[in-house]
Amino acid sequence: MTTIVVLGAGYGGLRAVKQLVKAKVDAKIVLVNKNPYHYQSTELHEVAAGTKEPDEITFDVRKAVDERVDVVIDEVTRVDQDARKVELKNGEPLAYDYLVNALGFESETFGIKGADENGWPILDIDTAVAARKHLEDTLKNYKTSHDVNDLHIVVCGAGFTSIEYLGELVYRLPDLAEEYGFPLDKVKVDCIEATPKILPMFDPKLADWGVKYLEDHGVTFHVASPITEVKPNAVVSDGTEYPANTIIWTTGVHGSHVIADSGYDQKRNRVVVEDDLSVKGHPEEFLVGDVSAVPNPDNGRLYPTTAQISIAQADTAASNIAARIAGKEPKKFVYKSLGTLCSLGPKTGIAEVDMGGHWKLKGAKASFAKKKVADRSVTELTDVPGIMNS
């Protein structure tokens, strides 16, 4: 019997499984994931800041997929493309006829000295919880240490995760100050970014509004300031040291190390795929999400990796596998973004939405739109009602 193996139960992997089941493919479907749960990676910053608990953004993978899908909880170590086998950390290799690789992302340090050792990344549930615990413990410690650096927080990078984390952080800080008894006016939050512009993907007026909102709530941005070193209690950028006992590392991500370990032709663990999302020379293998690199046919630039495009890719990959099994030709991947949304805490944000027109939103309306998209993403991954928190 034909076997389809899907690697990763993130947005792309779960969506691919759902669509394969919906297509009623005549095949055995196997889903491999490191953890027994799926987590909403676009909401990890909320767990890291403490405005949400882990169980609010996770659900059981086995409960989320059709009972006909085999779920394997194990860690993928390598893909043997020639033998068509997936090697696992604990189990026996899995043979496949078709493969959907959606293994996701890892932190990118760009080789900066001390980043791995001294920065707190936000990559998954474990790292988000660890970052939150460190933040809370450090702020709480000020009452006995009187070390002003316990109240200094540096966020490295100003991408989406950084900005959204900052929004949650400044929202929660007043409550933490009251709970732990530290002076809120002595808290210092710095965000250090190598590029000259914050939120360049938004209309300049929206981006400026978002930046000013964060600045008005205590964030100081340092743009065009590449980080050269991360010390145990300071970040060095452009010859200046920013002392802090909490350093959040959110400068960017690359694809899973499994890509390089498996010998793919890759850059930053991302593989440039064919126009049907298959791997060159391996029409039975499809890459989606953070391990894939998809050129925009209009300008040749690579699409940014987002949950939105991962779900769209998964639809195409599943459809193309179903087509190949049926002896039909696969279709090209065509993508149209529905917009971009960025939260600035639980109650505000900015957004540009392309649905029934082009809408530019800020404040509570943007926050509402972001929550609706988050809720919708769960529906797109599973048909099981009430799956969150179960």
Of 164, 168, 193, 285, the catalytic one is 164
Clarify whether 193 is annotated catalytic: no
Look at residue 207 and tell me whether its pLDDT is greater than 60: yes
Choose among 22, 14, 7, 25: nearest CA to 100: 7
CA distance 325 to 347: 47
**Residues of the chain with pLDDT > 70: what percent?**
97
113-133 tens-digit pLDDT? 999 999 999 999 999 999 999
- pTM of the full structure: 0.95
Look at residue 104 and tell me whether its pLDDT is greater than 60: yes
Q: What is the pLDDT of residue 388?
A: 53
How confident is the model over 370-380, as a mean pLDDT?
A: 75
Q: For residue 390, name the pLDDT band (cuts at 50, 70, 90).
A: very low
Choose among 35, 351, 326: nearest CA to 202: 351
226-241 tens-digit pLDDT? 999 999 999 999 899 9
Q: What are phi and psi of 25, to 5 degrees?
A: -65, 145
CA distance 196 to 229: 19
